[in-house]
Structure 1
């Protein structure tokens, strides 16, 4: 009896093993990552099943070099037609997988993440076709490439339009694919190929730039693009860039860098406070000090007019003395009684010569003395000294130097 039950159980297991396996779901490995639960229209005779995003089960958006690969955000698909909306999830899934299977980009955000981050602005972005409306979204998502698409029935039939924004260049590239109907597998495959080709063309490996700064509130920019505040890290396209680091009350730092794809560039920036260095006077102060020293030394003595006015004054004094000596000789010529007999004409001439000699001696002495003071005393003073010919009666005495000369004589 027990042997009969054992034999029956073995026969049952054998029959189960020989039973045909259940049919696999349509579409390769049976994975549908697009999340499309809409029933598909029946296939026509000879038509291949449309692709889906999970037909290969591969996601090449990450890998050993993913850290420095550009980031792609596929925003979504605008489908105003009902027939297009019925297969929209399949289109979205296939286009994303086609872009990331290139291995040239990494995922910045999928449509669901984009919708969450942009909120009310998502509806306008999914219909955006211009760089102006894509730039802000690319900065928000930190996406180097950003793609929107539209599937609609146009004059030429069903048309898919792709707009891909390149943040490095600030331009939008447009691609167009036409097909006979939205669910046509050849149509979908061609669209994925076109997008993959465009992504491959625009994707450029990044260079990692690390900037450290001694001022925590310093703003770090590359051209017009702000990277952050203080010490920052950023993935940038290769090539020559202008790094600008600036902060309030500090002298800005600007330098030109050459970034190489796949490499890390580290830059240390030290900002200096505006004004002279605390260790000593600035260069302008040193230059002003040298200039003041040169000015204080004064011009050469031979280039100063005071030297020549002094000589002229002394010459006038000498002429006056010589003229007075001549009058003295005339006065010594007397007769036997000691009386000098002269005519009135001679007397008047002698009187005029006497007055002239006195004037020459007094005027020449004053000029020579004043010029000598100007030549010797004035250059030694730190500030120019104003002089006057004669003080005003009753005026307060000047705090400066006062010189008085008295000349007199008779002939």
Structure 2
């Protein structure tokens, strides 16, 4: 629908040849009359404002500014309008489309009077339901992504009121940097209903997490017609980083190359926290002696997810039904470690080196006469960080009885 005549070729007014077509739209993403095209020509550099003013019903006179003081150089322009202003579908009704152009100089200063054109637009059957984000929750509020098994993951949950076309979940840092959160792996990511995001800061893949600090958790949802909503919550990151520990003496020392039943094999090595975050560890302390009929559970020190310990194992370890590294020790003595005054958890601090030693008393003959013994650095229920270090063959024999020692 043309609402402004073509200007004389020699005058080139500020605003001319304005059309709004079609004059009625049904913006509900069904593919039929979802948008109207607003076309206009600018004859001189100008600031353009496009406003929709309601002309019917109790809301008559309500105005929605779609474009405000947009700088336009001479030329032809098209604006595709889907009924959405400021991320929200405007109500069904009849509207006056007002296009205003004010000529300006290079510095944006007005050089003439504002020129105005008007047209009519009807909006009906619009999808005005907003894609609400309900019950956004972040837990825990303090997140320590360092794979120590304590608050290593954060759960971001919410409810979508309707299906959406675009969904983004991310952390916004104090410096404006954004950090994406992986999509919901349990539910259809953009479907109406509950959603749960599991976030580890990338540490599980060996990546450095976002820096420690205060963050805003942002959830953005937009439906097919352009209705858009944003929900936010807060999260604090502390002690973030990838844990890195190393056996610093790969020439692990075993005290002997031969024992008889009832004797004890000892080992000694050193371990260093080569990363930038504390690593959690737990007992028993270095110096503890096991028997081949025991394991860490007998010392009341079961596996603790995310904790680091040093372990001892050997070939033919049948007593423990294939359990890897059944004999484990804490990385350092209690008096060497940082002990959290609230939780009692023990930590080897960044840059710290400790000596770890222990013993294993042999009570049963293994299948092989000379099995290999070795140690390993274990990140419990995560990975064996260093495996089969200091591989040493030790002969094991039964004690010689008095009868066996007699010569004929």
TM-score bracket for the superposition, by shorter chain length: under 0.3
Q: Choose between structure 1 and 2 for higher RCO, CA contacts under 8 A separated by at least 6 residues.
A: 2
Which structure: larger Rg?
Answer: 1
> TM-score w.r.t. structure 1 length?
0.25
More helix by share: 1
More strand by share: 2
